[in-house]
Amino acid sequence: MSLIEFIGTTSGLLSVWWAAKANILTWPSGIINIFGFFLLFYQSQLYSDMFLQVFFFLSTVYGWRMWSKKRDKNEKPISKLTYEEFFWHGIVLFFGTFLWGSLMSKIHIILPGLFSQEAALPFVDAFTAVTSVSATILLAQKKWESWILWVIVDAVSIYVYFYKELYVVGAEYILFLFIAGFGLYNWRKKLLINKTL
């Protein structure tokens, strides 16, 4: 295991654990995770995951800013998507995966100077990337369904990372899967409490 992989996995575990507990420390620890994984995924030809780290950085800054307002009286509580929002998220996930996967499958042809090797598992990697984007946006908005998406992302990612022989990252995602399950349960409980207030 490289130092980059160790730092990325450790900070990632802390970030997901704090997110499941709705703790603002999820965001600064997430930034450390982002830089480590950007380098690691480039080395592993998981280019969708690599580009995803750029989005994660921007959304982490946004999420940190949003959650920093939590002491305001107008703090946004945990909520659910409407049926219409759920439908449109599904449409975006389907077409986003297809379009991004198509681009990544040709990235070594489009930008051969930067990407000398063909992308590994371009459509599966695109699915986890696009779904992670959606889950991150929903997490920043404190939508309960973000944890459903994280459970799916973590399950698929376990396969991807073990296939690419990134065993430490794969093991981390097994832990992420359990933490996401806890987040799903914990946020559901908070959602029900908010409804009774």
pLDDT tens digits, one per residue of 48-78: 999 999 998 998 888 888 777 755 555 567 8
The reported pLDDT for the residue numbered 196 is 52
Question: What are 159-181's pLDDT values in tens digits?
Answer: 999 998 888 889 989 998 998 99
Report which DSSP code applies to 118: P
Q: Note the pLDDT of residue 197.
A: 43
Contact 16, 179 (CB under 8 A): yes
User: Per-residue pLDDT tens for 5-53?
Assistant: 888 888 988 998 888 787 888 889 999 999 999 998 998 889 999 999 9
SS3 string, 19-76, reads HHCCCCCHHHHHHHHHHHHHHHHHHCCCHHHHHHHHHHHHHHHHHHHHHHHHHCCCCC
How confident is the model over 81-101, as a mean pLDDT? 95
Distance of alpha carbon 143 from alpha carbon 196, whole angstroms: 17
Structure tokens of 116?
Answer: 């000398």
